[in-house]
Structure 1
Amino acid sequence: MAKHDLDPNYLDPNYEPVVNQTGNNPFHEVLAARLKRRAVMKGTVGAALASIMGMTLVGCDSDSDGDDDSAGSAANAQTELGFKAVPVSNANQVVVPEGYSATAFLPWGTPITGSYPEFRADASSTGAEQEQQVGMHHDGLHFFPIDQKAGGNSSTEGLLVMNHEYINQAALHQNGATYVAGERPADEVRKEIAAHGVSVVHIKQDSEGTWDVVFGSPFNRRITGGTEMDIRGPVRGNAKLVTKFSPTGTETRGTLNNCAMGPTPWGTYLAAEENWHGYFANSNPDQPREQTRHGVGNSSRYDWELADSGADEYVRFDVTPGLGDPDTDYRNEANTYGYMVEIDPFTPEAKPQKRTALGRFGHEGVIFAPVTEGKPVVCYSGDDSRFEYIYKFVSSQPYSAATAGGYLLDEGTLYVAKFNDDGSGEWLALSLEDADFAAKVAAAERTMVGDIDFDGFEDQADVLLNTRLAADIAGATPMDRPEWGAVDPNTGEVYFTLTNNSNRTEEQTDAANPQAENRTGHIIRWTEENNDHAAISFDWDIFVFGGEQGTETVVDGEAVVTLDDDNIFNSPDGLWFDYNGRLWIQTDGSDAEPYQNNMMLAANPVTREIKRFFVGPVGCEVTGVVTTPDVKTMFVNIQHPDANWPFGAEGDHPRDATVIVTRNDGGVIGA
């Protein structure tokens, strides 16, 4: 029996022990203070209606008449929802609106590179074969037009790049994960590591409109949990990154638990490392704060460190300190994870780069604000764990389209968000050069910060290695699992999903979160001061609360959204604005009544109209969405489906896959 079989939560990739033990004012208390009143109860389980006080954000007002604002009317016309909403579903199939078609594409195991080994339905494939095939548990993805580097925007050919968050061992192997005398077969471990990471797939549409892999393309590529990578930014070369593999602390191997992502303004792909803590084991009870603040345990999720070959590439997942110096073992290996990883899909020979200036935590993804010549690059990222934070990075160097590249992400200031109860917000700098932060650090020294005995930061690299701890000290607002973000291309407003918080107690309930073990979540949005994304203050509000029929989002005494059969949802997770400005909302929540299977909805940000567009098969998470530039082909990822979707009786194992959605008349998706 595996050690972690004793804990049924341990194989859940979303399972993180709550490790924020600070007394920072949590978001539910901030939100409660911002509520004007608790309204009447509606819905079959009594979802409370919340009334939000204060001014609405610029561009957030719902104008049902649309007769006074020509710009608003134009934006509304562009973001109208022209499809008939689909009902909830518990069928083991994808459901899309009338007039649309959905086709499974690039399922786990699709050969894309090397010798193109075929998928084996009996799960007998080897680790070497999996390294040449599409990985497992598809997540965030992006479509790069094949001519993007030349300034083009092809919608018929491009590179589809996607993350593979974690694995299903029962499906990956013929008999699930196996152990012999307490050890795991090395090729099983190799296969599991290979099923993680990122796939870069060159795809092309034929004259009939069918998409397929361009076999033999030099762009087709697998990045796995074993791919060599460079460390970049302020943490590069730090003593706490020294390992047997990289005595200089400048390299590492692999990227893991890649959830959401972010395309950069210069045409590269950033993969997020989210719940990476569960891949490492440290049997020493005296763990460093770089591990305890993230929840590294004394056993790992998949026991890769127990591979029977004893090879260095597997031993590294045991981060228990040895008796020698750090360059003789892997005590620091976990410190090389928890970053955004930049991949250039158009340069397959380039090593991926871990961008440490963006902070080290449980990155859900990253979103970039629109770039302007001569101004800094700004991007946002959420830390997907209960009671964690939302961050913003502002580059030191200005953006120039002619020279822009990943170097812009190596120097700058990392901020963390503080939400005030009057609807304002502040970005708190996590920099020892910032006088306010430096003073807070000095005041916190030789005290307990949460359950960590804080003895200061050695330098800025140490701050970034311990981003969560730095945010605790700065006084950031703990949030309810901040996940995907999106920036409205028409208004510049920033949206973030706050998925849920199953740890909320009865004593913590409030008007915005009226149920203990709150599982419905909501979407928050803000506008930066003077619409400058580099500003250090903002105004925030709630876009919509998740919930059952009758749940209302009320602004200034008026219900701006009332959920009904066409748009009930819970646990908003994925979030993306298409090129016309429609907001797409994906869920990863309970499949109980009345919600049933997870789904994707479309929202008009001008009017707040929301309609259900897509329902996934049984047991899945609907995660990752992008369209071609003409918004006529949509790619949606399906993760961890149950049963044997998408091929029914044809296969024994469920296979994660991308779904291609098109309109039968060839029109714009959602219009």
Structure 2
Amino acid sequence: MTRVIVDVDPDDVPSNPSGNRHIRDVLSRRAVIVGGGVVAAAGFMTTSAAAKSGKGKPSKPGKPKPKLLGFEAIAPSTDDAVRVPEGYSAQVIIPWGTPIHSRGPQFKKDGSNTAAEQRRQIGAHHDGMHLFPLTGSSGLLALNHEYIDTTLHYTDGSATITQEKVDKATAGHGISVVKLERDKRSGKWELKDSRYNRRVTTDTPVEFSGPVRASHPLLRSNNAPKGTLNNCSSGYTPWGTYVTCEENFNGYFGTDEAFTATTEQKRYGITATSGYNWHKADARWDIAKNPNEANRFGWVVEIDPFDPKAAPVKRTALGRVKHESATVTESKGQVVVYTGDDQDGEYVYKFVGDGSWRKRRAKRQSPLDHGTLYVAKFNDDGSGVWLPLEFGKGALTAANGWADQADVLIRTRSAADAVGATKLDRPEWVAVNPDNKDVYLTLTNGVGNGGTVNPRKPNPYGHILRWHEKNGDNTALSFTWDVFVLAGDPAYDPAVQLGPDNIFGSPDGIGFDADGRLWIQTDISNTSQTLASKGYDNIGNCAMLAADPETKEIKRFLTVPRGAEVTGITFAADGRSLFVNVQHPGEASTAWGAPTPANPRAVSNWPDFDPAGRPRSATVVITKNDGGKIGS
């Protein structure tokens, strides 16, 4: 998530003015904590109570499995380093600025690479990713680059704004697709030259597909459709493509002209102020001069990693929000995509394909263009329903000011407001359990939307929700839910049932491995990440933990350097190599200060530790020294 350009995380500031009830208004405020879950006094059952009654349980019982978490938990850390358990090793690969081909331009440690060079290098601030297997020891890694840090990206920071700086910034955004291969002798993963290696940036030509086309009046702009930016989490499809999510697009637009935001612009957080100030050099980003350009962002974008000539496609049937994730699964042959809208007080969505995705593909049609988008409503009895965002149904009619389905999808947030969706504490990544199809959602933190779904006010630590779709069918329109775990420090919140091996805050990334371990990654705001401040003083740097979804055992597996978050997760096909990303090491922090162009190493110097260098986001590959599966 983007934090580098402001003192307050924009995701923490609601822009939802709807009259929809917060969950605190839906549910009884008389709540008790039982067994790590939160139970409304009205009678919502916890997991254990539900199991005894046989009703309302969030997951189906399965056969006893061997202990999932076979490693020794590591302690919290404030070191400027990546820490992993005993018996594991961590290797740094493809940091920001690495040439994507061996003959490409090398990274310049003083920040002086040009825009043209950046287009041929790995982008900045690695985020979501997926490894597409090629052979048993190689694959194509599709990797998001969420944003750039202006202090580190240039030699003089943001002291001046020029077209060249804008071009270098847009080249640092987007996606990298690169071939990785594991050396049989050393066991190390290496970047290899390949015809598949390429960059997709904010200037790459794109296409729009689905109900909203590039020709739509609200998408007509002063330039051809191009680019993707603020690419946060991601997913992958059963047919072998990569889907990447556009999150905080609003922060890139600004103006020096007289400007009053429309209702819809306000709903997406667009103002005259931009932290990047690209509009001062490039009118593309001037919201007063080029207002519809902003409507071209906030989509899920599909990329074929095996076709370098194919244009990225924005799949508009999945709606326009600040997409934090696009987790793809299937049920009854239909494709299902879950996505969180990462801002305090926003919603979680589900897209359900209209039939067999294989038949759509056979007709040369995209399964992501044909289906229905839903938004979740959480009820006070532990049940929930998916509300359709379809033109002509319910509140989304012409009489209520809606023009057509394209209008509903361009204004997805307002459509969700209109149908009565439930506000949540910053809904982010989604994971689907491969064993029973239960769905997990991270809620990072928030002002506190209250009640059983969001049980704290305020909620500085976040928590993880879990729900079970009716009959284990992810296309179903009803579900039961519980709180899987409350994050935080029990020293400051007695409701938290965590200890030295698993204390954590601000869950963000989340994903399952093939054996059913749930991996949890944290993103603690650097304004909270301080050694002296009460609340986070015992938690340390951001971390990755592993959980057993049946027993709820959780162990800390990895910690990252100062100022960084851990994000992105993917595995080699054999489960013996785990890839994660270390994003924004060295970012300004209450605990350690702030980097400057003169001293970019003030907070961190990871991973190069070059006395004349600067911190660089990078991918880290973790392997087990005995060659075993990760986590075993």
Q: Is this a same-fold pair by TM over 0.5?
A: yes
Post-superposition Cα deviations, 1:109-138, rounded to whole Å, max 9, x if no partner, equal 000049510001111110000000001111
Change (3 A) 1:301 1:83: same
The correspondence for 2:220, drawn from 237, 242, 247, is 242
The correspondence for 1:665, drawn from 607, 626, 631, is 626
Change (3 A) 1:408 1:70: closer
1:404-419 matches, within 5 Å, as 407-419=366-378
Post-superposition Cα deviations, 1:587-629, rounded to whole Å, max 9, x if no partner, equal 0114331101000000001111100001111110111111112
- Tell me if 1:487 matches 2:419: no
Cα contact 2:396–2:402 (8 A) shared by 1: no
1:44-193 matches, within 5 Å, as 50-51=38-39, 53-56=43-46, 72-74=62-64, 76-77=65-66, 80-113=68-101, 115-146=103-134, 154-179=135-160, 184-193=161-170
- Offset of 1:562 from its aligned partner? 2.8
- Tell me if 1:646 matches 2:581: no
Change (3 A) 1:539 1:51: closer
The correspondence for 2:459, drawn from 518, 528, 534, is 518
- Tell me if 1:400 matches 2:358: yes
Which amino acid in 1 is paired with 2:402?
Answer: F
Match of 2:349 in 1: 391
Which amino acid in 2 is paired with 1:270?
Answer: V
In 2, Cα distance between equivalents of 1:141 and 1:59: 38
CA RMSD of aligned residues (A): 2.7
Change (3 A) 1:9 1:229: closer
The correspondence for 1:575, drawn from 502, 507, 510, is 510
Cα contact 2:234–2:326 (8 A) shared by 1: yes
Instruction: Decide which moves more: 520-529 or 14-23.
Output: 14-23
Cα contact 1:49–1:511 (8 A) shared by 2: no
Cα contact 1:178–1:185 (8 A) shared by 2: no
Paired residue secondary structure (2:358): coil
In 2, Cα distance between equivalents of 1:482 and 1:70: 24
Match of 1:23 in 2: 19
Post-superposition Cα deviations, 1:19-46, rounded to whole Å, max 9, x if no partner, equal 101121113444655x653689xxxxxx
- Tell me if 1:353 matches 2:313: yes
- Offset of 1:60 from its aligned partner? 8.6
Match of 2:591 in 1: none
In 2, Cα distance between equivalents of 1:81 and 1:109: 36
In 2, Cα distance between equivalents of 1:253 and 1:553: 50
The correspondence for 1:464, drawn from 409, 426, 435, is 409
Post-superposition Cα deviations, 1:544-573, rounded to whole Å, max 9, x if no partner, equal 11011479999xxxxxx8311000111100
Identify unmatched segments of 5+ residues in structure 1: 1-6, 41-47, 63-68, 147-153, 247-251, 308-313, 322-329, 446-455, 555-560
Match of 2:235 in 1: 262
The correspondence for 1:340, drawn from 295, 300, 321, is 300
In 1, Cα distance between equivalents of 2:364 and 2:48: 32
Cα contact 2:424–2:454 (8 A) shared by 1: no
Match of 1:530 in 2: 471
Cα contact 1:545–1:551 (8 A) shared by 2: no
Post-superposition Cα deviations, 1:436-471, rounded to whole Å, max 9, x if no partner, equal 3446x74xx4xxxxxxxxxx1111101110000000
- Tell me if 1:293 matches 2:267: yes
- Offset of 1:405 from its aligned partner? 7.1
- Offset of 1:242 from its aligned partner? 1.1
- Offset of 1:8 from its aligned partner? 9.5
Paired residue secondary structure (1:427): strand
Identify unmatched segments of 5+ residues in structure 2: 53-58, 530-535, 587-603
Paired residue secondary structure (1:254): coil
In 1, Cα distance between equivalents of 2:167 and 2:262: 28
In 2, Cα distance between equivalents of 1:553 and 1:583: 24
Which amino acid in 1 is paired with 2:298?
Answer: G
Which amino acid in 2 is paired with 1:100?
Answer: Y
Cα contact 1:60–1:606 (8 A) shared by 2: no
Paired residue secondary structure (2:417): helix
In 2, Cα distance between equivalents of 1:405 and 1:587: 39
- Tell me if 1:317 matches 2:294: no
Which amino acid in 2 is paired with 1:189?
Answer: V
Post-superposition Cα deviations, 1:481-539, rounded to whole Å, max 9, x if no partner, equal 000000000000011001100x34xxx76677676542111100111112221111111
Post-superposition Cα deviations, 1:186-221, rounded to whole Å, max 9, x if no partner, equal 211111111111111111111121111112x11111
Which amino acid in 2 is paired with 1:171?
Answer: L
Match of 2:329 in 1: 369
Cα contact 1:51–1:553 (8 A) shared by 2: no
Paired residue secondary structure (1:649): coil
Cα contact 1:50–1:552 (8 A) shared by 2: no
- Offset of 1:9 from its aligned partner? 6.3
In 2, Cα distance between equivalents of 1:583 and 1:668: 14
Match of 1:37 in 2: 32
Paired residue secondary structure (1:661): strand
The correspondence for 2:247, drawn from 251, 260, 274, is 274
Cα contact 2:504–2:522 (8 A) shared by 1: yes
Q: Kindly, what percent of the aligned residue pairs are identical?
A: 45
Match of 1:603 in 2: 547
Change (3 A) 1:158 1:60: farther
- Offset of 1:315 from its aligned partner? 1.6
Match of 1:302 in 2: 276
In 1, Cα distance between equivalents of 2:142 and 2:519: 19
- Offset of 1:264 from its aligned partner? 1.0
In 2, Cα distance between equivalents of 1:171 and 1:377: 41
Change (3 A) 1:482 1:185: same
- Offset of 1:383 from its aligned partner? 0.2
Which amino acid in 1 is paired with 2:217?
Answer: A
In 2, Cα distance between equivalents of 1:391 and 1:8: 27
TM-score after normalising by structure 1: 0.83
Cα contact 2:322–2:342 (8 A) shared by 1: yes
In 1, Cα distance between equivalents of 2:318 and 2:232: 16
- Offset of 1:13 from its aligned partner? 6.4
Paired residue secondary structure (2:259): coil
Change (3 A) 1:141 1:197: same
Which amino acid in 2 is paired with 1:257?
Answer: N
Paired residue secondary structure (2:324): coil
Cα contact 1:58–1:527 (8 A) shared by 2: no
Paired residue secondary structure (1:637): strand
- Tell me if 1:195 matches 2:172: yes
In 2, Cα distance between equivalents of 1:58 and 1:136: 44
Paired residue secondary structure (1:658): strand
Match of 2:590 in 1: none
Paired residue secondary structure (1:333): helix
Cα contact 2:23–2:451 (8 A) shared by 1: no
Which amino acid in 2 is paired with 1:368?
Answer: V
Change (3 A) 1:16 1:299: farther
- Offset of 1:576 from its aligned partner? 0.3
Paired residue secondary structure (1:347): coil
In 2, Cα distance between equivalents of 1:362 and 1:73: 39
In 2, Cα distance between equivalents of 1:268 and 1:649: 37
Equivalenced residue count is 592
Paired residue secondary structure (1:646): coil
In 2, Cα distance between equivalents of 1:270 and 1:13: 25
Paired residue secondary structure (1:163): strand
Paired residue secondary structure (1:479): coil
Instruction: Decide which moves more: 167-176 or 82-91.
Output: 167-176
- Offset of 1:475 from its aligned partner? 0.2
- Offset of 1:54 from its aligned partner? 2.7
In 2, Cα distance between equivalents of 1:419 and 1:602: 27
